[in-house]
Amino acid sequence: MKNKKISEWSKLDNAAKIFPANSKKSDTKVFRFACELFDTVDPQVLQQALDITLEAFPLYQSVIKSGLFWHYFEKSRFKAVVAEETLPPCSTLYDKNNKTLLFRVMYYRKRISFEAYHALADGSGALQFLRTLIFHYITIKYKYALRDKSPVLDIEASKTQKQDDSFQKYYKDEKDFYRKKRIKAYKIKGAKIPEYRIRIIEGVIPVDEILPKAKEYKTSLTIFLAAILMCAINEEIPARLKRKPVVLNIPVNLRNYYSSQTARNFFGVINVDYDFSKGNDELTEVIEVLKKKFKENLTPDVMARRINKLASLEHNYILRVIPLIIKNLILKTAYAIADKSYSSTLSNVGVINMPDDIKPFIYSFDVFVSTDKIQACVNSFENTLRISFTSAFASTEIQRRFFKTLTDMGITVTIESNIIDDELEVL
Amino acid sequence: MRFCNNCNVSVVGKRKSCPLCQERLTGDKPQEEVFPQISFVYREYSSFFKVMLLVSIITATVSVAVNILLPESGAWSFLILGGLGSVWASLITLINQRKNIPKNIVYQVMTISVTALIWDFLTGWRGWSINYVIPSVCVFAMISMAIISKIRKLYIEDYILYIIIDALFGIVPIIFVVFGLLDVLYPSIICISTSIISLSTIIIFEDKRLIAEIKRRLHV
């Protein structure tokens, strides 16, 4: 009790600032990374692994508090405890009236799930945490099997590098009047699932079946999947609403453009659109257009411009001294405007790697994120590619069409999903 | 594993119908589910509030209606509307802040003080709000915060800000004393002295934490 140490604190990074103002029950801004093992999870070992992991990620030991002008992270004395999964996926982690840590670790049968609040980290930041956690879990649990080996995790970033605010670091004070025309995207509508639950439908696909298909269309996996998703959405649009283009929002990991190793947020987004009312709805056609749009958007120049644009707002003295209550309203409006510009999101986390000695214990990884619409996350581990749809809608037509396109190409798809309602047909 | 002939996919789990197209699955051997099944929670307290809300609305409507029919009895229905409004204002802050007790106490002090001032003003300013209500609410808040922080073993960071706000607010009655607005002095004097003492205690013993807290809360 007589701890005389003064709590450490730090600012939220540039991208994180938007989240506290825009987290709500319908979209908690929580994402999940899960790892499915071949054995049932041992909670005690998981707790040990978590304790070790937390030492390497000091920022995770914080809560978000609100100051007069900004939100900030404050080091907290809460202890992170692993728990059996009893909460709906991506349940609230940030509630301004109920302070908790900004992540949770849960287990269910063979799965270890790690959920994080987006202000704390982005996908690759959180993946660093999960990989470290799984690494420690397996090295402790299977000490005997691994006794002749000494696996090393390939994360070399120091504690400071992990806590780095890369937006600040790579920000250049350049006045830039570049403005892109806003496109109003087609918005998917439909009845929602009660209680803000999300439906998870995941397709597990062998990498060696889907990659050659993407190659056949002479494109990357992300573009291939984005095009299929856009076509699946298009087929759901009533004819009278076809005027608006389908726009996909694609998060981009900025660590690929800068030499950052931060475990916090460092991502940008690009929007790619396709106007089905003008263009042809053939997959090849959509892929060709997307290829061009990706190429235009994914250049270091465009990325730098995005960082500068966002960060310049934060460096504006007048904006800085606006009280948080008003700032929250501004951030809500900004988010609402940005939200109108895309129909859905596709996030490719990419290939997840683990040390060779650890790999045999892992079946696959899984990534998905909270949403009040429909959104897809993709990752691959060894020969398993997993496309995870989260959706707030009761209808599953878009997912069905998406996977149907893949199976029609002769690709094997295995579906995993959550049972959210008391569906009668369940045994 | 089960199979959907319509979608051409295998489905993991115990389901009997396809999660994509709702057709019946073929094949046996149900497997373990990947996700735990979590049923909907039907919130129980919401019906209590619905009843409360309806009772409030009925009371308000009936009293206004009766008041309109009996205009010679005076505008007493305004008192009832005001009373209901005050109770709900207080209740809503109480519920919104229920997880953070020190903050809740500060919010209650503010709500009660403001409602008391409005009531006193609208009912012909007899001065009871500044004579009794505001000082006693402040003192009560300070004492309860001190007790609750000990019982709930709160860390000083969790309530230092709120105790400071409350203590600063507790010094405000000095204005009433100086301008001679008070008929009864002792509640205000007790309140001002308690506030000065608690403020000084914190400034003397928790100076570093206090400065750190101010820096955090006010960073630009």
Among 3.40.50.300, 2.60.120.260, 3.40.50.970, 3.30.559.10, what is the CATH number of A9-149?
3.30.559.10
Average confidence (pLDDT) over B55-68: 93
> Is pLDDT above 90 for A411?
yes
| Calculated CA dihedral for residues A41, A42, A45, A50, nearest 10 degrees | 40
Average confidence (pLDDT) over A98-105: 93
Distance CA A127, CA A349 (A): 9
Strands A30-37 and A362-369: antiparallel
Contact A416 B34 (CB under 8 A): yes
pLDDT confidence band for A425 (50 / 70 / 90): very low
Distance CA B133, CA B116 (A): 7
> Is pLDDT above 80 for B133?
yes
Please state the separation of Cα B69 from the chain's center in Å.
Answer: 37
Say if CB A197 and CB A27 are below 8 A apart.
no
Give the lowest-confidence range in A36-50, A121-135, B144-158. Answer: B144-158
| Minimum-distance CB partner of A400 among B10, B13, B20 | B20
Model pLDDT, residue B45: 64
Tokens of A309: 């644009």
Model pLDDT, residue A371: 94
Q: Which residues of chain A neighbour B153 with C-beta distances below 8 Å?
A: 1
**Chain A nearest C-alpha distance from B37 (Å):** 6
- The strand pairing partners of A351, in sequence order, are A380
Model pLDDT, residue A1: 41
> Is pLDDT above 60 for A426?
no
Model pLDDT, residue A424: 46
Average confidence (pLDDT) over A76-92: 93
Q: Tokens 């694609």 map to which residue?
A: A250
Q: Which residues of chain B neighbour A67 with C-beta distances below 8 Å?
A: 216-219
Distance CA A13, CA A267 (A): 11
B3, B42, B216, B220: best to mutate for the A interface, most A CBs within 10 A: B216
| Minimum-distance CB partner of A415 among B20, B38, B97 | B20
Model pLDDT, residue A7: 78
What tens digit of pLDDT does each residue of B185-205 get? 999 999 999 999 999 998 998
User: Could you tell me if residue B60 is left (phi over 0), alpha (psi between -120 and 50 degrees) or otherwise beta?
Assistant: alpha
| Angle, CA A391 vertex, CA A407 and CA A60 arms, to 5° | 115
| Minimum-distance CB partner of A407 among B8, B41, B153 | B8
Tokens of B66: 């009766």
Edge-first strand listing for the sheet containing A374-381? A267-274, A246-253, A344-351, A374-381, A384-391, A199-206, A414-417, B9-11, B2-4
Running DSSP on this structure, what letter comes out for residue B44?
S
Residue of A nearest to B215 (CA): A67
Report percent pLDDT > 90 for chain A.
Answer: 61
What tens digit of pLDDT does each residue of A298-325 get? 888 888 887 777 777 777 788 888 899 9
Rounded to 5 degrees, φ, ψ at A276 are -70, -20
What tens digit of pLDDT does each residue of A334-356 get? 899 888 899 999 999 999 999 99
Say how many CB pairs under 8 Å bridge A and B.
Answer: 130
| Angle, CA B199 vertex, CA B196 and CA B200 arms, to 5° | 85
Report percent pLDDT > 70 for chain A.
Answer: 95
Give the lowest-confidence range in A79-83, A306-310, A328-332, B36-40. Answer: A306-310
Where is A75: in which H helix or E strand?
A: strand A71-75
| Minimum-distance CB partner of B209 among A6, A399, A417 | A6
| Minimum-distance CB partner of B217 among A67, A85, A203 | A67
Rounded to 5 degrees, φ, ψ at A411 are -90, 135
> Is pLDDT above 60 for A177?
no
Average pLDDT, chain A: 89
Residue at A3: amino acid letter? N
* Model pTM score: 0.87
Model pLDDT, residue A261: 84
| Residues 6+ away with beta carbon under 8 Å from A410 | A209
Distance CA A198, CA A151 (A): 37
> Is pLDDT above 90 for A224?
yes
Contact A400 B100 (CB under 8 A): no
> Is pLDDT above 70 for A189?
yes
> Is pLDDT above 50 for A44?
yes
Q: Kindly report the CATH number that applies to the domain delimited by A194-417.
A: 3.30.559.30
Model pLDDT, residue A48: 96
Model pLDDT, residue B93: 82
State the angle between helix axes of A283-297 and A221-236 in degrees (0 to 180), rounded to the nearest 10.
120
What tens digit of pLDDT does each residue of A62-73 get? 999 989 999 999
Q: Tokens 């948080």 map to which residue?
A: A324
Tokens of A393: 């809608």
Distance CA A31, CA A91 (A): 9
Q: Which residues of chain A neighbour B210 with C-beta distances below 8 Å?
A: none
Tokens of A402: 């998406």
| Minimum-distance CB partner of B14 among A200, A404, A427 | A427
Q: Which residues of chain A neighbour B150 with C-beta distances below 8 Å?
A: none
Where is A29: in which H helix or E strand?
A: none
What tens digit of pLDDT does each residue of B89-119 get? 888 888 877 888 888 899 999 989 999 999 8
Model pLDDT, residue B27: 85
Say if CB A261 and CB A162 are below 8 A apart.
yes
Say if CB B213 and CB B163 are below 8 A apart.
no
> Is pLDDT above 80 for B154?
yes
Name every residue in B having a CB less than 8 A away from some CB of A: 1, 4, 7-21, 30, 32-41, 96-100, 103, 153, 155, 157, 208-209, 212, 216-220
Average confidence (pLDDT) over A230-246: 88
> Which range in A116-120, A193-197, B14-18, B74-78 is most confidently predicted, on average pLDDT?
A116-120
Domain with CATH 3.30.559.10 in chain A: 9-149
Distance CA B107, CA B90 (A): 9
Average confidence (pLDDT) over B151-171: 87
pLDDT confidence band for A427 (50 / 70 / 90): very low
Reduced to 3 DSSP states, what percent helix, strand and coil does chain B have, rounded to the nearest 5? 65, 5, 30
Say if CB B75 and CB A129 are below 8 A apart.
no
Model pLDDT, residue A114: 96
Contact B36 A422 (CB under 8 A): no
Domain ranges of chain B: 1-35, 125-220
| Helix ranges (DSSP H) in A250-396 | 283-297, 300-314, 317-320, 324-339
What tens digit of pLDDT does each residue of A117-172 get? 999 999 988 999 999 999 999 999 998 887 777 777 777 777 777 777 877 777 77
Distance CA B30, CA B21 (A): 19
Give the lowest-confidence range in A121-125, A256-260, A391-395, A420-424. Answer: A420-424
| Residues 6+ away with beta carbon under 8 Å from A280 | none
Where is A49: in which H helix or E strand?
A: helix A43-56
Distance CA A310, CA A287 (A): 30
pLDDT confidence band for A274 (50 / 70 / 90): very high
Contact A67 B218 (CB under 8 A): yes
Distance CA A27, CA A335 (A): 12
User: Could you tell me if residue A10 is left (phi over 0), alpha (psi between -120 and 50 degrees) or otherwise beta?
Assistant: beta
Q: Which residues of chain B neighbour A413 with C-beta distances below 8 Å?
A: 8-10
Residue of B nearest to A316 (CA): B220
Model pLDDT, residue A3: 54
User: Smallest Cα–Cα separation from B133: which of B112, B119, B162?
Assistant: B112
Distance CA A229, CA A240 (A): 20
Average confidence (pLDDT) over B129-151: 91
